[in-house]
Structure 1
Amino acid sequence: MKAQLDLMQAALDHINQGFTVFDSDLRLVAWNRGLSDMLDMPPEIIRRGSHLEAFIRVNAERGEYGPGDIEGKIGRRIERAKLFEPHYFERVRPNGQIIAVSGTPLPQGGFVTIYSDVTEERRRQEKLERTVEERTRALQQSEDWLRLVTDNIPALIAYVSPGPIFRFANRRYADWFGQSVASIAGRAAADVVGADLFAELEPHIDHAFKGNAVSYEYERKRPDGTKAYMRSTLIPDMTADGRTLGIFVLSLDATDQKQAEATLVQSQRMDAVGKLTGGLAHDFNNLLAILMGNLLSVSRLEPPLDKAELDKKLTPMLEATKRGSDLIQRLLAFSRGKAIDPQTVPLAQLVSNAHSLLEGSLPSAIVLEAEMPDRSIGARIDPTQMETALINLAFNARDAMPEGGILKFVLSEINLEKRTADDLGVPVGRYAQITVADTGAGMDEETRLKIFEPFFTTKTFGTGSGLGLSMVYGFIHQSGGAITVDSKLGIGTCLTLYLPYHRIALARTREAVTAGENDLQRGKGELLLLVEDDPDVANAVTDQLQNLGYAVLRAESAEDARSLALELPELKGVLSDIIMPGQTNGLALAREIRRERQDLGIALMSGYADWSGLSGQDRECEFPVLAKPFADDQLADTLQKILSRAI
C-alpha cells in the first residue's frame, strides 16, 4: 500500500501545477511539490493535518490579499471555504505572478484545489488585446482615410452584396440618390435607386453577379428637372473558387461628355448632309422637271378635257410631289438628329432609309445595292446615329472608288460562339450583322490598323476631319456591339457591324389589313375648324378635308379660331397650323381650346422639321402632328383618331 502511495505522490510531483486536497475539517490531506514551488509556502506548514487557516495567514501577512485588516481577511476566506462550493479566481501576487485557483468540492466534504501559474498566458493575452486594439485603431484610421479619399474622388463608388444590398457607398453616390452614407448601407438596391431605374439596371447587375465585368449607361432626372447621364462599370468581387461575394460599382457623370458627343455627332451629320445636298438637288430637279413638263402639257389641253388624258398627266405629278415630300422629311429628320436615344428598331428600315438618302448622291459610276432578306432583325440603338454611321461608311467607300464600282449593304444575323465573341470583345450570343462592302482601292495593313483612331485620315488636309470612323466605332461599341474591317489593296474593303440582336414583330401589310375595304376613313359631314394663315395652303387642305367628307370652317388667325371654337357647339374638331403670325402659336391655341372644350378633337400640322424651336415650345406635344405636305390617307387616319377620342 505504501508503495502505491509513493508512486502516486511521485506522479503528482511531476505535475507543473500546484495541488492540494483538504478534508471536511479544512485540514490538508494531500499535496504535491508544485504547491511549494509555485506559492513559496514555508515547509513546516506543508504537512498532513495543517489547517487551511495556516496557508491563508501566510498569504495575508505577506500582503498577497492587499492592505487592510489581516484577521478580517482570514476570517472571511475561512467562512467561504466552509461552504464547500465550486470556485475559480485569479490572484495577482506582489511579485506580479498571476495564479489561477480552481476548487472543486468532494462528495464527503472537503475540496480539491488546482493552482496554475497563468502569468505568461495572461501577458500574451494582454499583448494580443493591445495588438487587436492597435490594429482596430489602425483599421479605423485606414477606413477613415479610405472614406476621405473616396468621398473626394469625382466618382460614385459603392459595393453591393447579393440581394442586391448596398454595403458601402461614398458621399457622392449617396447624394446622387438622395441618401446619406449611413442610410444607404444595408438597404436593398431597388429601394435606393427606385423601382423604374432598378428595372433598367437589374439585367446588368444580374450579369455582374454571374462573374462578368459590365459597363452600361443610364439617364436620370436631377431634382431641378434637367437630365443627367451616368456611365457605370460593375466589377465582380470573386473568390478563388469562382464564387461572387459582391460587386464593386464605379459610376462617372457623363453628362458633359454626352453633350460633347452630341455636338460632334451633329457636326458629322451636317457634314454628311452637305455631301447629300448635291445628289438631292439632282433628284429635285428631276421631280420639278416632271411637274413642269406635265403642267405645261395640261395647260395646252383643249376643252372639253378628257379624264383619262388628264389622269395620265396628273398621276406622275402626284407621285413626284410625294417623292419630294418623302425626300425632304428624310433629310430633315437626318439633319436635325437628337440626343442619344436608344430604341429597339428594325435595321432593315434604317438601311432602307440610308439607301434612299444615298440614291442620287453617289456618282452614277457607283452601283448601290442592298440585301435585307429578313426584316425581323432589329437592335436597340439610336436610329439617327445608325443612319449617320451608314452614311459615313458609304461616303468613305465613294472616296475609295473614284472610277466607280459597287457599294453593297447586307443585313443578316449571326450566332457568335465564345472564341469569336472573345476576339470581338463582346458576350456570346445572337447578333445582327450589317456589312458595308465596296470594290474600291482597299487599304494596306498599316492604314487598316489606324482607321478608327481619332483624327486619322488619308484625305487631303482640310477635306476630312478624321472623326467619321472613330465616331462609328464609338457608337457601335457604346451600343454593346463590335466592328471589324477586312481590306485588300486593289480588291476593296468590307466593314462588318455587330449589334446585339432583337427580334422585330412584323406588322401585317396594309393590303392584308384593308383587303376588300376602302383605304380612306371618310367623314360624315362633321364640321371641322381649319386654322391656316396661308390662303393657298388653306385652299389645298380644305379640298382634302371636303373630299374626305367633312364640312370646313376656316380661320386665318388664332384669335378668330379661339372665338369660333368656343362659340360653335356643333363644331367637332380643330386642325391648326403650329407656326402662325402673332403672339399665339398653334400649340398654345390648341391647349387653350382643350381647357374650355374637351369634347373637341384637335390635331396640328407643320411644314417645319423642328417646329418646337420656332414656336418656343417643348416637344412634349399631347396632340397628333401632321408633317406638311401630307397624303389623304395620313389626314384621314389622324382625323379618325382625334374624333373618336373626343369626349
Structure 2
Amino acid sequence: MEETQQLKTQLDLMQAALDHINQGFSAFDADLRLVAWNRGLWEMLDFPQELARRGTHLEAFLRVNAERGEYGPGDIEGKIQRRLERAKLFEPHYFERIRPNGQVIAVSGTPLPKGGFVTTYSDVTEDRRRQEKLERTVEERTRALQQSEDWLRLVTDNIPALIAYLSPGPVFRFANRRYADWFGHSVASIAGRPAPEVVGEELFKELEPHINRSFEGNAVSYEYQRNRSDGSTAYMRSTLIPDMTKDGRTLGIFVLSLDATDQKQAEAALVQSQRMDAVGKLTGGLAHDFNNLLAILMGNLLSLGRMETPLDRETLDSKLSPMLEATKRGSDLIQRLLAFSRGKAIDPQNVSLAKVIASAGRLLEGSLPPSVDVTITAQDKEIGACIDPTQMETALINLAFNARDAMPEGGTLTITLDACELDTREAEDLGIPSGRFARITVGDTGGGMDPDTQLRVFEPFFTTKNFGTGSGLGLSMVYGFIRQSGGAIHISSALGVGTYLTLYLPYRRITPTSGRDADEGETLPLKPGQGELLLLVEDDPDVANTVTDQLQNLGYAVLRAENAEDARSLALDLPELRGVLSDIIMPGQINGLALAREIQQKRQDLGIALMSGYADWSDLAGQECACEFPVLAKPFADAQLADTLQKILSPTPDPA
C-alpha cells in the first residue's frame, strides 16, 4: 500500500512538472492508450476534460477532432481509421495542422523502445504569421528589385554607349543591349560567358593587358578598332573602372565603351585641314623652285636648238645633265608634296626621325624668306620613333612657319635632333614615363612669348596673330599628335630672346640598311634587255614615244597600243610577246590594272608592270585592294625601268 502511494506521488510530481512545459505533451503505450499528458495539451487543443485520464484510447481523441471538423469535411470514420493505421506503425513523424480557427499546431512524434510514442504539440501560429509576413516582404522587395533592375536595364539599353560588367576570369556578368548587339550576342546569352568567347580571341589578345591592369585596381582608358558587319571600320574608346571593396579587393570591372568613329573622322578632317593649310604656305616656295627647274630645262633646250654644228659628247652631256637633274628634282618634289598632302589614314610606323626632318626640310626650301637662316642638325639616322611620318612632317612645317611669323625682320630657325634620358622627376614634369626619348628642338630668334601666352599656346583656336591670318589650331594639333604618339612637348621662351619648342618621343633604334637609300641619290645598276618583245600601252603619244625610246635603248623590242581593246588583242594573239608595260589611268571603261589582271588570267607566262603619273592612282582607278603588279611612278629613269623589267620577265622557255 505504501509503495502504491509512493508511486502515485511520483506520478503526480511528474504530472506537475509536465504541466509547466509550454508545449502540449502526450504519451501513448503500445495499445495506443494514454499514459501521460500535460495541461498544455488540453488548453492548446480544447479536448474534453473526461478524456484526461490514463487508459483513454487514441481513437477517442481522433474522434473529437474529426467530429468538430479538425480534419476537414468528409467521411469521419474513414479519417479516424486511416490515422489509427498510421499510428500503429510507430514511426517518427512531423506535420503541421491548421485548425479551423486558424491556429497552426506543429505535431512531432517519436516512437518508444517497447512500443507506443511520445508526442509534442507546439503552437507555431505566430511563427508562421511572422514567416508569411517575411515572405511577403521578401516577395515585395524582390518585385521592387526586379522593377528597379528593369528600369536600370531600360536606362542602360537606351544610353548611346556600350556598358558591361566583368567578373574575374574574366567572365561577363552583365551587358546592355548595345554591348551585346555590338558583339553579335543577346543580353541573355552574354551573361556567364568568358570574355574571349564574346569579343573573339584576336580582339581579346589586344584588350587583355588593359583588362588585367584594371583588375589590379587601376582605371584604364584605351582605344581599339573593329570592322562592322558592313565592312566599315569603327573606332571605340573604352574606360574600365574597377569595382573594389574597402579592403582593396577587386570584385570586377565596369566597362564603358563609346563609338569614337565620328570623332576620329573629325580629327582626321582637322589634321587634313592643317596639312592643306601648310601646303598653301608651301606653294610660294614650290612655285619658286619649279620656275627655277623650268628655267634650267628651257634654257638648255633653247641652247641646244640654236646650235648649228654637231655637238661633241662632252658638250651634249653638259646640257643634258642639268636637265635630267632638274626633272629628277621636280619629280621628287612633286612626290613629296603629294605624299604630304593626300591625307591618308594615320599609319604609325618605326621611322628614322633624321629622314623625316630632312624630308620636311626639302619641302621648306624656298618657302622661307631669305632673311630666315635655317640650320638643321639631324645626322643620327638611328634615332627613331613609332609615328606617322606625314603627321610629323606636318608638325615640323607648322612649327617652322610659326617661327617664320615670329621673325618678320629675319633671324635664325634651328632644328636639332638627339636622344636623351629622362629621370623620374623630369618625366613627371612632362607627364610621361621615365626612360630614353628622341628629342627634336625647333628654335627661333623671334620676339618670344610672355608667361601668359606660354600657358595658353596649346589651346585650340588660341592665336596671337591678326584676325584672319591664323586658325589657332597649328600648335594644338602638334600637341595632340605628340601626346597621341606617347610623347610630350615643352616650350621655353622669353620676350626679346626667342622660342624653343622641344618634342619628346619614345625612342626607337632604327637599324641602318646597307647601301644608300633611293631618295638619297642611289643609282640603280643598268640591266639591259636581250631583244625581248614588249607591249607598251599608253594613250599619250608624246609619253609613248619617250618610253619607247627608253625601252629600245635598253635593248627591248616594242609594240605599242593606245587603248585597252588593242592591247588585249595583241597580248592574246602574239605568242612571242614576253611582257606588258601599261599605264594605269586610260580613257575608256577599263583601266590598266583591270586590263593587266584580265591578261594575266589568260597569259600567265607574260610579265606585267604598270606605270602612273598619279600619286593616288588607286582612288582614280576605283581599286580598293592592293596592286599585285610593280608600279613605276612617272617620270622614271632608265635604271628604274630596267630593274622593274628584269624582275617581271620570266626566263626564256627552252624551245626543246
| Mapped contact 2:383–2:419 kept (Cα < 8 A) | no
> Does 1:170 pair with 2:164?
no
State whether residues 297 and 326 of structure 2, in contact with CA within 8 Å, keep that contact through their aligned partners in structure 1.
yes
Q: Does 1:457 align with 2:460?
A: no
* 31 and 202 in structure 1: CA distance in 2 versus 1, 3 angstrom threshold: same
Name the residue aligned to 2:3. none
Query: What amino acid is the match of 2:287?
Result: A
Aligned in 2, Cα 1:75/1:584: closer, same or farther, shift over 3 Å?
Answer: closer
Structure 2 equivalent of residue 72 of structure 1: 78
How much has 1:415 moved relative to structure 2?
Answer: 6.3
- The reply on whether 1:375 has 2:370 as its aligned counterpart is no
Cα distance in 1 for partners of 2:432, 2:243 equals: 21
1:396 to 2:402 alignment? yes
- Cα deviations by residue, 1:423-449 (Å, 9 ceiling, x for unpaired): 666677776554444443332232222
Q: Distance in 1 between matches of 2:524 and 2:374?
A: 39
**Aligned residues of 1:351 and 1:409 also touching (Cα < 8 A):** no
Indicate if the aligned counterparts of 1:442 and 1:490 stay in contact, CA closer than 8 A: yes
Residue 254 of structure 1: how far off its partner (Å): 3.1
Equivalent position of 1:255 in the other structure: 261
> Which stretch of structure 1 is more off in the superposition, 110-119 or 37-46?
37-46
Inter-partner Cα distance in structure 2 for 1:628 and 1:422:
50
Counterpart residue number, 2:611? 605
- CA shift, 1:200, in A, is 4.3
Q: Among the aligned pairs, what percent are the same residue?
A: 78
Correspondence 1:490-639 to 2 at 5 A: 490-499=496-505, 504=510, 506-510=512-516, 519-618=525-624, 620-639=626-645
Q: CA deviation at 1:536?
A: 3.7
Tell me by how many angstroms 1:335 deviates: 1.2
Distance 1:121 1:624, change over 3 A: farther
Counterpart for residue 93 of structure 2: 87
Matches within 5 A, 1:309-320: 310-311=316-317, 314-320=320-326
TM-score, with length taken from structure 2: 0.85
Conserved in 2, the CA contact under 8 Å of 1:435 and 1:495?
Answer: yes
Change (3 A) 1:591 1:22: same
Q: Does 1:329 align with 2:329?
A: no
Superposed, which structure 2 residues align to 1:1-16 within 5 Å?
Answer: 15-16=21-22
In the alignment, the residues of structure 1 paired with residue 461 and residue 652 of structure 2 have an alpha-carbon distance, to the nearest angstrom, of: 55
Q: Secondary structure at the match of 2:283?
A: helix
**Higher mean C-alpha deviation, range 129-138 or range 634-643:** 634-643
Does residue 410 of structure 1 match 2:434?
A: no
Q: Distance in 2 between matches of 1:349 and 1:586?
A: 33
Secondary structure, in 3 states, of the residue corresponding to 2:174? strand
Instruction: Provide the rounded CA distance (Å) in 1 between the counterparts of 2:500 and 2:545.
Output: 52
1:530: Cα distance to partner?
A: 1.9
Give per-residue Cα distances to partners, 1:220-251, cap 9 Å, x unaligned: 44444444433333333334444444433333
CA distance in 2, matches of 1:51, 1:213: 78
Query: Which residue in 1 is equivalent to 2:449?
Result: 443
Partner in structure 1 of residue 373 of structure 2: 366
Residue 102 of structure 2 corresponds to 96
Conserved 8 A contact 2:414-2:443: yes
Q: Secondary structure at the match of 1:151?
A: helix
The DSSP-based 3-state class of the residue aligned with 1:449 is: helix
What is the Cα-based RMSD across aligned positions, in Å?
3.7
Name the SS for the 2:586 alignment partner: coil
* TM value normalised by structure 1: 0.86
- Could you tell me how far apart the structure 2 residues matched to 1:444 and 1:597 are? 71
Where 1:440 maps in the other structure, the secondary structure is coil
**Which one has the largest radius of gyration?**
2
Q: CA deviation at 1:218?
A: 3.8
Indicate the residue corresponding to 2:219 in structure 1. 213
Q: In structure 2, which of residues 385, 388, 391 is the aligned counterpart of residue 385 of structure 1?
A: 391
Which of 280, 285, 299 is the matching residue for 1:279? 285
Inter-CA distance 76–449: structure 2 relative to 1 (3 Å threshold): same
Counterpart of 2:456 in 1: which secondary structure? coil
Q: Give 2:361's aligned amino acid.
A: H
Distance 2:431 2:138 in 1: 46
SS at match of 1:569: coil
Give yes or no for contact 1:599–1:646 (8 Å, CA) kept in 2: no
> CA contact under 8 A between 1:579 and 1:615: conserved in structure 2?
yes
Question: What is the CA distance between 1:489 and its match in structure 2?
Answer: 3.3
Structure 2: state its 5+ residue gaps: 1-5
Compared CA separation, residues 5 and 407, structure 1 to 2 (3 A): farther
User: What is the CA distance between 1:154 and its match in structure 2?
Assistant: 2.4
Number of corresponding residues: 641
CA spacing shift, 1:468–1:100, aligned 2, 3 Å: same
From the superposition, tell whether residues 228 and 61 of structure 1 become closer, same or farther in structure 2 (CA, over 3 Å).
Answer: same
Post-superposition Cα deviations, 1:463-516, rounded to whole Å, max 9, x if no partner, equal 01112223333334444554444443344434444555656555433599xxxx
Matched with 1:154 is: 160
